[in-house]
Amino acid sequence: MRRAKISVIGAGNVGATCAHWAASKELGDVVLVDIPDKVGVAQGKALDLACCGPIERFDANVIGTSDYKDVAGSDVIILTAGIPRKPGMSRDDLIQTNVRIVKSVSEQIAEYAPESVVIVVSNPLDAMVYTAWKATGFPTNRILGQAGVLDVARFRTFIAMELGCSVEDVSALLLGGHGDDMVPLPRYTSIHGIPVSQLLPQETINACVERAKVGGGEIVKLMGTSAYYAPASASVQMAEAIIKDKKRILPCAAYCDSEFGVGGYFVGVPCVLGSGGMEKVLQIDLDAGEKKLFEESVSHVKDLVKVVQDAFPELK
């Protein structure tokens, strides 16, 4: 039986941690790719991770490389390449540089792993998913953005902190773009089936919503660069759902046309993930307030995509 293969593009903090989670979960063989100037870093981190196998009791071949030929046959590719945020920067500030990087990487993916499912992590997320889609030419079901899983995890964490309960018992949902105008949905949030509104006052719920929206920025301010443990964990949860055909329902940046009336953009919505990649978008009812916030978030995604199209006409 062929072992699954996961390639991670970018051997920085997020990429290396993705490789770590994927190997430790024995999802398959792992290829860690970086630019030639950093190939020693990719090779060193891959070798270091491989040496964890005897201790942590996992079997996975882990290699580091700068040759995209090594991603051939990948089932899933996690694209983390790009510059991270620094204090005072928004995700949008990264757009010009990271479009160039993601476009170049995506063209290599299309050449060497044309049947893979691509999970984009690079920021600004919604614009980078669009860039990867256009540059690869892949069908929309095989291009996804990792954002909602991370954002929901933060929201669940903050709710659990307020309640003093296990994060495992908190269920939540979130829509929209990966930015400060994301839309956490308290109405769809529960603690072991109990609506959160029965357990926390509205002002506390609102505070958790606002903290989730700026959760990434909070971490940047604290340590001077973007988060990486949770983004990597979220990316690998998506990869696992695809590789194992688990049919998990996870919030992801997925292509929506008629769905939610989006009109042909990648935005955060609940999806079914399986061996076909994004197999279905699940539509849910939104009240007037939720719909307004979602439309505002989608409008910002459209603005980002227009910036990409204006700067890179070949991606229209």
Structural domain count of the chain: 1
Give me the residues paired with residue 78 across strands.
8, 119
Known catalytic residues are: 178
> Could you tell me if residue 77 is inside a domain?
yes
Distance CA(246)–CA(244), nearest Å, equals 5
* Tokens of residue 310, six digits: 């204006």
Pairing label, strands 248-256, 265-274: antiparallel
Containing structural domain, residue 133: 5-145
Residues paired with 183 in a beta bridge: 175
Q: Give me the helices (H) in the chain, please.
A: 13-24, 39-50, 53-56, 95-112, 125-136, 148-163, 202-213, 215-223, 229-243, 288-311
Largest CA distance in the chain: 55
User: Is 51 inside any structural domain?
Assistant: yes
Token pair of 43 as six digits: 């090779």
- Closest to 90 in 3D by CA, of 231, 234, 226, 209: 226
For residue 212, being part of any structural domain is answered with: no
Domain membership flag for residue 139 = yes
Q: Is residue 103 part of a domain?
A: yes
CB 298 within 8 A of CB 267: yes
Per-10-residue mean pLDDT of the chain, 316 residues long, equals 91 97 96 90 97 95 97 98 73 80 97 98 93 98 96 97 98 90 93 98 96 92 93 98 98 96 96 98 96 95 93 92
Residue 189's pLDDT is 97
Confirm whether 263 is domain-assigned: no
**Residue 118 falls inside a structural domain:** yes
Token readout for 197 is 């509104």
Contacts of 224 (CB under 8 A, 6+ apart): 86, 87
CATH number for the domain harbouring residue 33: 3.40.50.720
- CA–CA distance, 35 with 81 (Å, rounded to integer): 10
Tokens (6 digits) for 277: 């990649």
Structure confidence at residue 90 (pLDDT): 64
Domain assignment of residue 110, yes or no: yes
Q: What is the pLDDT of residue 1?
A: 65
pLDDT at residue 96, as a whole number: 84
Handedness of CA 300, 302, 308, 311 (dihedral sign): negative
